[in-house]
Structure formats: C-alpha cells, structure tokens
C-alpha cells in the first residue's frame, strides 16, 4: 500500500469540503489501521477499478454527518439522517472520489469509481476487516471525516 494513493483523495476532500461547506479542513495524522465499522457512524464506500483496485471509505460520526449536511444545505439545520441527508452525504463522497480520480488520471493512473454506497450499520456493511491507509480531516465546528484507502 503506497501513501501516495491517499494524497489525491485528501486534496480532493479539502477542495470539495471548502466548496460545499465553506470550511477549510486541516489534516490529521496519516496512519495504517484496521478498518472496523462501528455503530453510530455513517460510511460512504466507493469502489475503484482499473489500475487501482479496492475501496475508498469515508467515515463520519452521525452527528458530524448531520452538521456536514446542514453546512452543505446553507446552514439549514438537519436533525436526522433522512433520504435527503443520505443523498447529500453520498454526493459528498461522489464529488471527492470523482475529483480524486481526475487527479489520478492526470498523474497517469487510470481508475473508474463505482457509485457511492451508504453504510450505517456494521452488520449491513458485509465488509471484511482489513488494514487501510487512513487520514482524518478536521473540520472546525463540524468534526472529523476519516478517509480510508483500501487499495490492492
């Protein structure tokens, strides 16, 4: 697993979050950890095929996801993760991954991304725990967005 795989996702997430939520996130500590789907968390899973195979998973605590959706909706307070909220958070993952795949293409790496899949329950994930390259983005007043890259 190469650290440079996460850089386009990190850069893209910074740009997209600044555009849609008007917040400039800061970067946490890069690390490798076991991916575990925990409850009270929302996961946006995006598959990758082509020269990079695997998944990119964005994780947010439910309260952070609600604040992010509120920010994306111009400050409208969102109190539950309904279909509109799920659609918004899903689109956030799609925008970040789409941007990152363009950055990768510009670096000579051809990838295709799958549509985002929202996972709200560890048991519903059907996901086999494995190691991921991970880095948190810290968003003032909102919380953290974990970016986890599981590329083979």
- What does the pLDDT read at residue 67? 94
Q: Which two tokens stand for residue 132?
A: 């991921």
Tell me the pTM.
0.88
Give the model confidence (pLDDT) of 85-109 as tens digits.
999 999 999 999 999 999 999 999 9
CB 5 within 8 A of CB 30: no
* Residue whose pair of structure tokens reads 């950890």 in the numeric block: 33
Q: Which of 81, 64, 59 is nearest to 140 (CA)?
A: 64
Q: Which two tokens stand for residue 108?
A: 């000579």
Between CA 151 and CA 101, with CA 109 as vertex, the angle to 5 degrees is 75
Give the model confidence (pLDDT) of 132-144 as tens digits.
888 999 999 899 9
Cα 88 to Cα 12: distance, rounded to the nearest angstrom: 17
- What does the pLDDT read at residue 128? 62
The CATH topology of domain 3-25+33-151 is Chemotaxis protein chec (3.40.1550)
Q: Check pLDDT > 70 for residue 2.
A: no
Q: What integer best gives the mean pLDDT of the chain? A: 87
Give the model confidence (pLDDT) of 21-57 as tens digits.
888 999 999 888 877 667 788 989 999 999 988 889 8
Percent of the chain past pLDDT 90, that is, above it, reads 56
Q: Which of 18, 10, 20 is nearest to 149 (CA)?
A: 10
- What does the pLDDT read at residue 138? 95
Confidence of residue 151 (pLDDT cuts 50, 70, 90): confident
- What does the pLDDT read at residue 50? 93
Cα 131 to Cα 35: distance, rounded to the nearest angstrom: 6
Bridge partner residues of 143 (DSSP): 139
- What does the pLDDT read at residue 37? 67
Q: Which two tokens stand for residue 95?
A: 């925008």
Domain ranges of the chain: 3-25+33-151
CB 44 within 8 A of CB 120: no
Q: Check pLDDT > 60 for residue 126.
A: no
- What does the pLDDT read at residue 60? 92
């Amino acid at each position: 697993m190469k650290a440079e795989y996460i850089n386009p996702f990190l850069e893209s997430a910074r740009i997209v979050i600044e555009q849609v939520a008007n917040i400039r996130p800061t970067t946490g500590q890069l690390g490798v950890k076991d991916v575990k789907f925990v409850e009270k968390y929302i996961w946006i899973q995006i598959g990758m095929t082509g020269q990079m195979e695997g998944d990119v998973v964005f994780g947010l605590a439910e309260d952070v996801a609600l604040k992010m959706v509120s920010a994306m909706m111009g400050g409208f307070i969102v109190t539950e993760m309904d279909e509109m909220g799920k659609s918004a958070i899903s689109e956030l993952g799609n925008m970040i991954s789409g941007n990152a795949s363009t950055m990768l293409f510009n670096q000579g790496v051809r990838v295709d991304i799958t549509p985002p899949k929202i996972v709200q329950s560890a048991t519903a994930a059907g996901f086999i725990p494995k190691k991921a390259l991970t880095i948190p983005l810290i968003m003032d007043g909102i919380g953290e967005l974990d970016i986890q890259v599981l590329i083979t």
